Structure 1
């Protein structure tokens, strides 16, 4: 695919993500899990691609900040955002198997799943 207008490509990408979000909100759980697995894939997923895009933006901002065209805070903020996205991707990758398990066809379970309290703990 040849891109003649990268700004249009950015706009189309946002629209496609919004459309995917609409589908996720009504899709069956197995399909949602399969899609999330693709989106969160640490090598080829949307989150990985977005992290790379923000890191590229950070390098752009670093060059412009070095030339005095942007405040250094812009470069630092983009770099911090890329690092945070990377950390989030690593955190989510720890749970990839849990998401994949939902995506598999249901098997007869010997023990029914037990609901858990939704307590958020951050692991790093």
Structure 2
């Protein structure tokens, strides 16, 4: 299975949309903070699992059975490194074999984006 963190965000949405052209929905895991925002993903047959970058134990549970992971960078300035470390540690504990990572332009200085 392939997991995408930040699956309800803009990049996560586009990644899943593209991935579904080559991978069955049953092989995709959407890792989200708020499962209520992922109802459309679940309706397409995608497995939705709740976890927050700040909760390594929840991430480890959410990544069970996942072979490949796309870690989409969080938007919290000053918290990215510890949050991403949690995801990487959880992926290792869950036996994930491959991690791909996306960052942001000027990730160390970018201001947080306004909430919708």
Normalised TM-score (structure 2): 0.29
Which structure has more helix as a fraction of its residues?
A: 1
TM-score, L = length of structure 1: 0.27
Larger radius of gyration between Structure 1 and Structure 2: 1
